[in-house]
Chain A
Amino acid sequence: MKKQDLFTALEEYLELSNLNEDSSLALTSIDILSVIALIDENFDMQIKASELKDVKSVSDLILLIGTDKFEA
């Protein structure tokens, strides 16, 4: 997955628009489920909810997933 694909997926899952790496995120409890689902589906990874509580921006999420997981 490319970073741009993540932005698009996040927009779809979280019902947001015009996201980029610098966008801030304020994840509600339902958003957290959506992000867990998105990561499971696209990266086959299980992220703990406690880890997502520290995510305040799209770049935080990319770091949590791991920058090496994204295509150039």
Chain B
Amino acid sequence: MIMGVQISKVAYYLPEKVLTNEELSMQFPDWTPERIYDKIGVNTRHIVGANETALDLAVKASRKVLENENVSTIDFVILCTQSPDYFLPTSACILHDKIGLKEQAGAFDINLGCSAYIYALSVAKGLIFANVAKKVLLVTAETYSKHLDNNDKGNRTIFGDAASASIIELSENNKIFDFVLGTDGSNFDKLIVPNGGFKNKISSENHQDNFLQMNGPEIFNFTIQKVPITVKQILEINNMLIDDIDFFLFHQANKYILDYLRKKIKIPQDKFFLDLSDTGNTVSSTIPIGLSKLTQNNRLKKGDKVLLVGFGVGLSWGATIIEI
């Protein structure tokens, strides 16, 4: 009989190449390395090489989390990515092969960005509760650096590439609680790569539209409006109060947004995770990277409750509470 589900293991992988604030400052002299760190909270970010893809990162993160695991016990893989190798097939099918999962294991991609980890957790929980799977490999992998114009100062300071892999499985007590999910498709164009799909082909005329376009102020408006409400809702549906939460781990968008949200929601600084200095905003991987770092640094103990919130491209958001 199913008792519950838990995140039993998390690992992450960062590509070898590092882009520093000093390098960016040489290209954009009006922004000093100190100013970039002060505003964005990032010192360095990892960037894939020209021939390296999100799938390559996904394979490496998966192999890390599967060390000392019996691979044949994995019966589903979910890959969250907006940087697929191909329009089709899904990258998850190729990942399934490369890491040697059994033929009976399901595989699919989820095309979401900064909210993807929360959505994928809800899907993994659903698959386990529906008895479709007992052990799910949840992978996030993004190479937004490939979506960025080399002259895009703002976004190149913010984003880094990374992948993560988590194992979600049956547990005696339920440790992944209820979810709040949300979508605002009317603002789809506030964070978008306009060209490259079937609607707008890659174009030499609208060169800028071949790259990621982010309306920073409108994304900020969306975030400061939706995240506090979502935190309130997730506490309510799980019958908890803000004091019941031991740690708040939000999508690591940038320092400015996170500082503002922490103050607005009145979260004590010692309970709030803010650490993107050596990774940048790695989109769907920020939350699992945060979980991994908190565990490695012994900042979480058994039984702690952690409130997770993802928000971004879509526009899309989601939250849940997990128990360590």
Contacts and interface: CB of A to CB of B under 8 A. Distances in A.
Interface of A: 29-30, 32-33, 36-37, 40-41, 46-49, 52
B264 A33 contact: no
Contacts of B217: 29, 32-33, 36, 48-49, 52
**Interface residues of B: mostly helix, strand, loop or mixed?**
helix
B258 to A, nearest CB: 12
B216 A29 contact: yes
A49 B221 contact: yes
A49 B221 CA distance: 9
Contacts of B98: none
A29 B154 contact: yes
A72 B220 CA distance: 31
B245 interface: no
Contacts of A29: 154, 216-217
6 nearest A-B pairs in the assembled complex, by CB-CB distance: A49-B217, A32-B217, A33-B220, A37-B260, A46-B221, A49-B218
Interface string B207-229: 00000000111101100110000
Interface of B: 39, 154, 215-218, 220-221, 224-225, 256, 260, 264
22 contacts: A29-B154, A29-B217, A30-B39, A30-B256, A32-B216, A32-B217, A33-B216, A33-B256, A36-B217, A36-B221, A37-B220, A37-B224, A40-B224, A46-B221, A46-B225, A47-B221, A48-B217, A48-B218, A49-B215, A49-B217, A49-B218, A52-B217
Contacts of B215: 49
Contacts of A48: 217-218, 221
A9 to B, nearest CB: 14
Contacts of A37: 220, 224, 260
B216 A41 contact: no
A25 to B, nearest CB: 15
A41 to B, nearest CB: 7
B299 to A, nearest CB: 28
B202 to A, nearest CB: 27
